[in-house]
Structure 1
């Protein structure tokens, strides 16, 4: 399965493409889409959108993952990042991709095993999980790879849960459900 992970930002949007085979991951490409603060807002958003569309066409991902935004302090930064996130989601929607959205806490937990891990710990685990020699730079690209890895973890979990539910549903069809049998089990 090929996953395109995105760490949305207005000045710099990180992206990471990974292939998942069984329980192993391989990095295909990672980098950043950068826009200049001197460029008008509409042009910057169009550049982000166009770059995401190009990545989708180039890598043909089967799944798409994006980090949810969390800002406690700077409202302006939050708004512009939300605008960038909006065009990223639009590109995925228009391509017909299923989108997974994850909080920073979920990403840290999935990649490092600890929801309060710092950036350095997450980057180190991305390096280990992808069998890389060096930590990916810039940070936004490493974060995007972490988002893609998180999506892979959740995809496996969701697949297993679907199997369990299907088995339970199949088993329940084998035993006739009557009021008497339902009461017996509750």
Structure 2
């Protein structure tokens, strides 16, 4: 049974996750019916870790934040296989670690195609690309982003994508 954000279950904590090989973007929303507020954004920077260290860091950090914001629903961008199989496998490992952590919280996991995520924010429908997605997300959530204490210029693509993923899930586009 899938759970809709803020639907019959009332209040939901919805995560958007953009797992990568060296960085993981995370956004956390509080959803109550038609009201949504951005609770936090996070970036797990794994550039200094070896492969095994990266997976451990993902597990520890995800568990820490899941204790703070227990997820009801987690949106993840669906892994689309490209030419670089090594990168795809590394991302798949990171996704697997996170899916395991989320299963401990009985969270529903919703996977979204990248194209759906971008159009959910609206910018890709007009062909404006990733910078337009960033601008749209920062503009819509500027007050919430300021409240997190993270300077807007430090919000990199992984976090922007995580926000867009969560929005796509909240709006029921995935």
Choose from 131, 145, 149 the match for 2:163.
145
TM-score by length of 2: 0.78
TM-score by length of 1: 0.74
Q: Secondary structure at the match of 2:171?
A: helix
Residues 123-138 of structure 1 aligned to structure 2 (within 5 Å): 123-132=134-143, 134=152, 137-138=155-156
Contact 2:72 2:106 in 1 (8 A): no
Once the two structures are TM-superposed, the CA of residue 9 in structure 1 deviates from its matched residue by 0.7
Aligned to 1:80: 90
Residues 96-135 of structure 1 aligned to structure 2 (within 5 Å): 96-112=106-122, 114=124, 118-132=129-143, 134=152
Aligned to 2:41: 30
Unaligned runs of 5+ in 1: 159-186
Count of residue pairs the alignment pairs up: 155
Superposition CA RMSD, Å: 2.3
Once the two structures are TM-superposed, the CA of residue 72 in structure 1 deviates from its matched residue by 2.2
Unaligned runs of 5+ in 2: 1-11, 147-151
Q: Secondary structure at the match of 1:5?
A: strand
Q: Secondary structure at the match of 1:36?
A: coil
Aligned partners of 1:59 and 1:137: how far apart in 2? 20
Aligned to 1:56: 66
Contact 1:6 1:65 in 2 (8 A): yes
Change in Cα spacing, 1:71 to 1:135, as seen in structure 2 (3 Å) is farther
Residue 8, structure 1, aligned to residue 35, structure 2: no
Aligned partners of 2:137 and 2:110: how far apart in 1? 19
